[in-house]
Amino acid sequence: MTLSLCTTSHTPLMGRADPGAGVRERVEAAFDQARATIRDADPELVILFAPDHYNGFFYEVMPPFCIAAAAESVGDYGLPAGPLPVDAAAARRIAAAVLADGIDVAVSERMQVDHGFTQPLHLLFGAIDAVPVVPVFVNCVAEPLGPVTRARLLGAAVGRAAQALGRRVLIMGSGGLSHDPPVPRIQDAPPEIAERLIAGRNPAPEVRAARESGVVRAVAAFAAGDSHLLPLNPGWDADLMALLAGGDLESIDARPNDWFAANGGHSAHEVRTWIAAYAALGAAGRYRVDTSFYEAIPEWIAGFGLTTARTLPV
């Protein structure tokens, strides 16, 4: 049994907004390094912690966490649609172990996932169906959110369950770091938007396209400096990445939800996926970060980070 890790930001603006050739080349070089590390690890299974952006989970029932025994991509932002190769037996075994460990987690036999799950699979493996996967949804946008310590405890429980599988497992976290995209909040939303947040599943293609075009326009305005959205925060991102690399994950427990939103924007809560992933890796013992990339990319409205790590021999 071995555990390895890859965490990465995601952005639907990749390929839709040009941050300049130098930026694209540096990001691609970081992904090349991550791909090489993953090839060396040769994972038999991927456990993927990722958020949703009101494409698969809605306020009709919003769990804090959910493990999928089957999942399908909605195909947003031009990414592939269709089923993911979920290892149902592994997913059910992990869910049972996590529940037995005292972490309340929902289970889905028909999860819908969006670019938060599919973009890293597509970028790192070349397809969304290249490797068996267990998707783990972490609510990062729909308030109220639980304390961040719950994400750490979820990750640790998943990591212990992953160890018991006796397989080569890659733990992935998709999301963060600082970014404040135009995601509506139900408490401020007009009735038609609130209804979409409650029950907006499977919109018509033209509705989804219009929504995505609106996001592209809003981010273009942000990159041009004409926006009320919170700026990226490279200093905050660096501190958080250093804390995760250092392994002192429990020190995050005391940080309130407002601290994340005030410093990194409302979608900075997506870093919960990184915290869960690092906690899962840490369940197997000490670890070492091998790849660490960061660049603030306004055109993608992303404090864009990517790391890989592996456990150290005992």
Residue 80 DSSP one-character state = P
CA distances from 136 to 43, 105, 127, 311 (A): 17, 10, 18, 21
Residue 253 DSSP one-character state = T
Catalytic annotation present for 228: no
Q: Catalytic pick from 53, 122, 179, 266? A: 179
Q: How many helices (H) and strands (E) does the chain have?
A: 9, 11
d(CA 111, CA 132): 15
d(CA 131, CA 4): 15
1's tokens: 């049994």
Q: Catalytic pick from 115, 122, 266, 269? A: 115
Catalytic annotation present for 115: yes
Question: In 3-state terms, what secondary structure has residue 117?
Answer: helix
d(CA 238, CA 244): 10
The closest alpha carbon to 244, from 267, 272, 277, 278, belongs to: 278
Q: What is the 3-state secondary structure (H, E, C) of 221-252?
A: HHHCCCCCCCCCCHHHHHHHHHHHHHCCHHHH
Task: Give me the DSSP letters along 16-42.
Answer: TB---HHHHHHHHHHHHHHHHHHHHH-
The closest alpha carbon to 120, from 200, 30, 195, 228, belongs to: 30
Q: How many CA atoms lie within 13 A of 311 on its CB side?
A: 20
Residue 110, Cβ neighbours under 10 Å: how many? Answer: 10
Indicate the helix (H) or strand (E) that contains 95: helix 88-100
Residues annotated as catalytic are 115, 179
